Amino acid sequence: MGDMLGQVLVKLGLVSEQDICSALSEQMSIRFLPLAAYPEEPIIIEGLSQDFLFSNNVVPVSKTETGICFAASVPQDAYVNKALRIALGCPVELCIGLDADISSALQKYLQVADDAVESDEVVSDSFAGDDEFIEHLKDLASEAPVIRLVNQIIHKALDLGASDIHIEPFDDGLHLRYRVDGVIHEVPDPPQLSLAPAIASRIKLLAHLNIAERRLPQDGRIMTRVKGHELDLRVSTIPTVHGESIVMRVLDRQSIQLSLDKMGFSQDTLSRYRELLDRPHGVLLVTGPTGSGKTTTLYASLAAMDSQSLKIVTVEDPVEYQLRGINQIQVQSQIDLTFGKALRSILRQDPDIIMIGEMRDTETAQIGVQSALTGHLVLSTLHTNTAAGAITRLEDMGIERYLITSSVNGVLAQRLLRKLCQKCRIPVELTAEVIETSGLGRFMQSGQTVYRSCGCSECQGSGYAGRTSIHELFVMDSDMHKAILSGSDATTLHTVARRNGMITLYEDGLRKVAQGVTSLEEVIRVTQDQGSEDVVA
């Protein structure tokens, strides 16, 4: 895995970071610094580069006449030890500390250091013209404090395991928020509002956006490497009354699991889904709201196929992950390379399997259906709340019912829900009434014990760590064909599917509650739009 043994053991969840630090402290006779040993006020060392501290994850914790003590995540690193002694010209002691504690101390260090040069960073409104203002922003975005601040914002996202970074200017200040496991968390001490233009300019420069355009939305991409992780940041900016609001979608290429077996599928659902993937032609749709993991499921589906013996072509906007042996096309709207135009071209490329990033208009849907009818397997996503809703959505897009029944093999609805932290989850004994009203009874193997969230240092007090998926697989059969051709609405189609054995999103979530993977409250939160009707049904 390219890391030291202790780091690998922590990543695999076999031991805690605290245990590794304690063992290393004893083995190498190096002091271990708990959180209480870090100073309240950061110790600023003149002549010491902040870039060096951040890149090597080392921070000063005490300074005496005899020398300076540092906390480091890798104190045995001879390079760091020698570099500090040469730069400071005094004895240096390196102690071992937890990554989270060091990162927190570095954040305080950065804020205090930046306050010292704050007067140089304030954006003035008294410039003679717009060109001069833009040049000032470019200069400001290239200054070391702003570069460090943006880097720190991105590093924090990796430390938290965040999927999105939100930088939003309001009248009461700049709000910095991270979406972790689907839930937004606000940072206690965000940067000052006066730095918002400089931060926006720095991010736009990295994403190759037009730094002079502050009145129109822009989209871009940043490819960077942080702590050994290759990060792909999709940047979106929009103008608001208080300035530019920026959202960065964080894609960590190392954390992505392109394996259907590791994506939370229940065994019966997975076996039926694999059967649909093995069909030679037809349309297979994955539905759900934004951020529900639809594209990742499609990538995992493609990764499970034999790209050596099959010609697989994808059309995406954007291409999120590059897959070996698969031809991936990036939509370019600015040169009129749309989904429809790309699809018409790739049909002449003799593909076996076509993946469409999203069926977002009538033209794309029609070409997808026609491709399925002419012997291709078509995989795509659709924005609907339920699997049955995908059928009525296709009708709304102008696809005739007889074409739907002839081409669509099935629809997989998906949601992501948070997994309980295994360190602090608490067992709960449910009453017979709760088990009956929630519908848990049919999934409980023995007893009445489930688990609920609590909160600890491992999960940042949320009670949850990581996410898994729940699924609802809607398979087209003869009964479904009759219902569609008779003009049934989504509710009726859903009822027919349930009568034929479909497990709903809510019920799949209950299975994970019974297994101790998540809590009943989390399942209700994620599936509240359909949970009650499923229980009643």
Residue 139 has pLDDT above 80, yes or no: no
pLDDT at 133: 56
Residues 405 and 494 in one domain: yes
Is 37 inside a domain boundary?
yes
Q: Are residues 271 and 215 in the same domain?
A: no
Give 282-311 pLDDT, tens digit per residue: 999 999 988 888 988 998 999 888 888 889
Report if residue 520 sits inside a domain: no
Q: What does the pLDDT look like over 411-440, one tens digit per residue? A: 999 999 999 999 999 999 888 888 888 888
Q: List the one residue out of 189, 240, 186, 181 whose CA is nearest residue 215.
A: 240
Confidence (pLDDT) at 442: 85
**What residue numbers bound the domain in which 80 lies?**
5-113
Q: For the stretch 434-446, what's the b/e string if a residue is b when 16 or more beta carbons lie within 10 angstroms of its beta carbon?
A: ebeebbbeebbee
Residues 426 and 452 sit within 8 Å (Cβ to Cβ): yes
Q: How far is CA 303 from the centre of its chain?
A: 19
Question: Does residue 523 have a pLDDT over 90?
Answer: yes
- For 453, which DSSP code? -
Average pLDDT for 96-114:
77
pLDDT tens figures, 195-249: 888 888 889 888 888 887 888 899 888 888 777 777 888 899 999 998 899 999 9
Give the C-alpha distances (Å, rounded to integers) separating 378 from 89, 170, 300, 314, 401.
Answer: 66, 44, 15, 10, 18
Say whether both 202 and 269 belong to one domain.
no
Q: For residue 508, is it within any domain?
A: no
Residue 144 lies in a domain: yes
Q: Is residue 460 part of a domain?
A: no
- Does 127 have pLDDT greater than 80? no
Higher confidence at residue 254 or residue 125?
A: 254
Residues 85 and 195 both lie in one domain = no
> Are 363 and 218 in the same domain?
no
Q: Tell me, yes or no, whether 129 lies in a domain.
A: no
Q: How many domains does the chain have?
A: 3
In a domain, 321, yes or no: yes
Do 70 and 146 fall into the same domain? no
> Cβ distance 184 to 169 under 8 Å?
no
Higher pLDDT, 75 or 529: 75
As a whole number, the mean pLDDT across the chain is: 84
Find the mean pLDDT for residues 437-457: 84
DSSP state letter for 35: G
**In a shared domain, residues 301 and 380:** yes
Inside any domain, residue 168: yes
CATH number at residue 157: 3.30.450.90
Confidence of residue 128 (pLDDT cuts 50, 70, 90): very low
CATH code assigned at 335: 3.40.50.300
Q: Which comes out higher in pLDDT, residue 388 or 324? A: 388
pTM of the entire structure?
0.68
Q: What percent of the chain has pLDDT over 90?
A: 31
Q: Are residues 470 and 264 in contact, defined by beta-carbon separation less than 8 angstroms?
A: yes
